[in-house]
Amino acid sequence: MAIVYLEYNFKIVPLQPATDILIAELGDAGFESFVETEEGLLAYILKEEWKEGLLDDLFALQHPDFKISWTSTEIEQQNWNAEWEKNFHPIQVGGRCMVRAPFHDPIDVEFDIVIEPKMSFGTGHHETTHMMLQHILDHDFEGKSVLDMGCGTGVLAILANKKGATPVEAIDIDEWCVINTQENIERNACPTIHVEQGTSDLLTGRKYDVILANINRNILLDDIPVYANCLNKGGALFLSGFYLEDLDAISAKCAAHGLEFEKKLEKNNWVSAKYVN
C-alpha cells in the first residue's frame, strides 16, 4: 500500500519573513517536508496525519502584512523525486563541503556529500541545516561518539562521520526518514552509522561526545534534559530549528541542566547554537 502525502502549494507575498514563519508553524502542525519555490512554499504532510481545521490557527496565515494563498493535492512518495529535482541545486558550505544530488557533477572539495532526500527534510538548503553543517566543519569530530537526533536525510551524521566521528547514531521519529537516511549513508560509503526509528525515549543509558539536534523549539525544550544527561563530560550539544527570539529560552533550559552557551550562528533570523558542559 503506497504512503500518500498531501502537498500544499503556498503562494506567499512577501516571501520573507512569512516563509520562515510558516515553515516553523507547519512543522509544529505535523508537516514533515518543505521545498521553497520562487513563489512561496511546497509543504508535505502524511494524509493520515491531516485533520480538519489544521491551518485555522496559524499566525502566518492570519497576519495582515502577509498575503498567502494555497491549494492542496495528493502525492504518492514515489512522485517526490521529480518534484524535488526541479527545485534542488547543489550547495557549498564553508568552501569545504558540497551537498549535491546524484545527478549533479562533483567538484573538488574536502567533503562531497550526495543526498537524495525524497520525502525527508535536510538537504542543507534550509538555514538551520546549513548552519549545523557549518558547526560540524568547525568542530573536531575525530574519534568522537555522535548522535544525530531528528536526522531527516542523515546529512549531519554523514558529515560528522566523514570528519572522523565514530560511532555515529542517527534517530528519527519518521519511518521514511530512517529509510532515506539508510539509503544516503550507503550512497556516501558511511556504513558505520547506525540508524533507528524513535524518539528521545531511546536514549536512556546512552552517552555521546557530541549531540546534533536540528528539530524545532518545542521538541528541543522538552528534550534538552535528556540530551544533557546523555552528554559525556567535555561534550558539545549543537541545536537548531528555532528563531533568534527563542534563543534565551533554549539557553536558559540548557543552563538549568549544566550546559553553558558557547557560540551561535545566525541566518535570516534562524539560529544554531553550541553548548558545552
Cα 174 to its chain centre, rounded Å, is 12
- Dump the DSSP string for the chain: ---EEEEEEEEEES-TTHHHHHHHHHHHHT--EEEE-SSEEEEEEEGGG--TTTTTT-HHHH-TT-EEEEEEEEEEGGGHHHHHHHH---EEETTTEEEE-TTSPP-S-SEEEE---TT---SS-SHHHHHHHHHHHHS--TT--EEEET-TTSHHHHHHHHTT--SEEEEES-HHHHHHHHHHHHHTT-TTEEEEE--GGGGTT--EEEEEEES-HHHHHHHHHHHHHHEEEEEEEEEEEEEGGGHHHHHHHHHHTT-EEEEEEEETTEEEEEEE-
Annotation: binding site for S-adenosyl-L-methionine: 129, 150, 172, 214
Q: Which residues are annotated as a binding site?
A: 129, 150, 172, 214
Distance, in Å, from the CA atom of 277 to the CA atom of 248, rounded to the nearest integer, reads 18
